[in-house]
Amino acid sequence: MKYYIVIFGCQMNISDAERIAGVLESANYKKSQNINEADLVVIVACSVRQSAIDRVYGVAEKLNQNQKNILTGCLLESDKKKFGKIFDYILDIKNIKKLPKILTTNCYHILDDRLKCDNSSYLNITPEYKNKLLANVPIMTGCNNFCSYCVVPYTRGKEISRPAKKIVTEIKKLVNNGYKEIWLLGQNVNSYKDCSAESGQIVNFPKLLKMVDSIPGEFKLNFTSSHPKDFSDELIQVMSECKNLSMDLNLPVQSGDDEILKKMNRPYTISQYKNLVKKIRKALPNIRLSTDVIVGFPGETKKQFNNTVKLFKEIKYGVAFINKYSPRQGTAASKMKDNVPWQEKKRREKILIDIANAKNKK
Ligand code: SAM
Ligand code: SF4
Ligand code: F3S
């Protein structure tokens, strides 16, 4: 039997797909190079914007009737209900260990929602890495922050940190096998906290970073995403002492305006954010900063957007990921009026992209 995985969304979904592949390979499924030749198609969905969900329908329409199809990934309950009519099975990513069992049962829907979520173990599944030099290593999943626009706390649930010991063992193996680039992944890596250590000591993100950096061998170390509110002085200090750390750092600001940040439930001000950037740049003078921004958040005026423009000119990001606001069902922002027209969102997006690109041409 051959399988094919379609991945939408961020690095976390790429990493989840590697774990799905690991489960399928150990059940003797073989990877198909082509979706049409696969007996089983697994779609790993992203719900961060409506456009990402619309693309799932696009793929589903092209599947043929003889192909078994499974939908997993970041999904809202409301979308799961809609997709239930199209897919053979909708599986919580935390239950992917149970995939072989589901596949041997012909009555998929009988098992549906009766599977208890297996929170602790899915990150410890041995992955089938896609790349031979770069490896994504999830250190935590979920998010407790509830930014008002974001689905992640609903689709991935509460933060769960993976035991530091397991992370270090996985990375040691990767480095011994010649991997040159390691990415520590999570929706909010710097709130990582492992309380499971036998010593009773809590391993926070700076401590984990230090442990990983001390692994013998030559490799580049990256992490994403980090939240400005959890970027501690201890973390900056550890980063400045690391020997393998990449000088690329993503520090999502989301907006350059204090009022909008408040409405987004991002608990920092622009002055605090700038102060943080100053401390990071002082400790790590070669750091290259990137950021994420949402344009056209409900009620964002031209004046408020101009504060983001001002911030961009001041910080001079190397790379910027600009997202046009997309209302997501169930989030706090979905109850606010989405009153910035699409054309205006596109205009604001272009302005910020042009500033980032102009900086890169210099
Ligand atoms: N945890 C990261 C942080 O705190 O910034 C971000 C993770 S989120 C899954 C990735 C990016 O998607 C966010 O940085 C944000 O810019 C964007 N995003 C999230 N919800 C969005 C929405 N409703 N509309 C547009 N962009 C959105
Ligand atoms: Fe979403 Fe990131 Fe906010 Fe969590 S911290 S709710 S993942 S934007
Ligand atoms: Fe999308 Fe989930 Fe990532 S919603 S951006 S795939 S964490």
Look up residue 88 and give its two tokens.
């053979």
| Highest-scoring range by mean pLDDT, 106-115, 192-201, 306-315, 353-362 | 306-315
Q: Does pLDDT of 224 surpass 90?
A: yes
Estimate the share of the chain in helix, then strand, then coil, as percent rounded to the nearest 5: 45, 20, 40
Would you say 172 and 186 are in contact if contact means Cβ atoms under 8 Å apart? no
Query: Does ligand 2 have an atom closer than 6 angstroms to the CB of 196?
Result: no
Query: Does ligand 1 have an atom closer than 6 angstroms to the CB of 49?
Result: yes
Question: What's the mean pLDDT in 219-225?
Answer: 97
Predicted local distance difference test score (pLDDT) of residue 97: 87
Antiparallel, parallel or unpaired: β 203-204 and 319-324: unpaired
Residue owning the nearest CA to atom 12 of ligand 1: 48
Ligand lying nearest the CA atom of residue 47: 3
Burial class (CB in 10 A: 0-12, 13-18, 19+), 348: buried
**Residue written as token pair 């979920």:** 142
Q: Give residue 171's identity as a one-letter amino acid code.
A: I
Cis? peptide before 51, omega within 30° of 0: no
Predicted local distance difference test score (pLDDT) of residue 114: 46
Sign of the alpha-carbon torsion through 91, 92, 97, 98? negative
Q: Does pLDDT of 11 surpass 50?
A: yes
- With a pLDDT cut of 70, the percent of the chain lying above it is 94
* Predicted model pTM: 0.93
Query: Does ligand 1 have an atom closer than 6 angstroms to the CB of 289?
Result: no
322 Cα: distance to centroid of ligand 1 (angstroms):
10
Question: CA 137: distance to chain centroid?
Answer: 12
Residue owning the nearest CA to atom 3 of ligand 2: 147
Query: Does ligand 3 have an atom closer than 6 angstroms to the CB of 47?
Result: yes
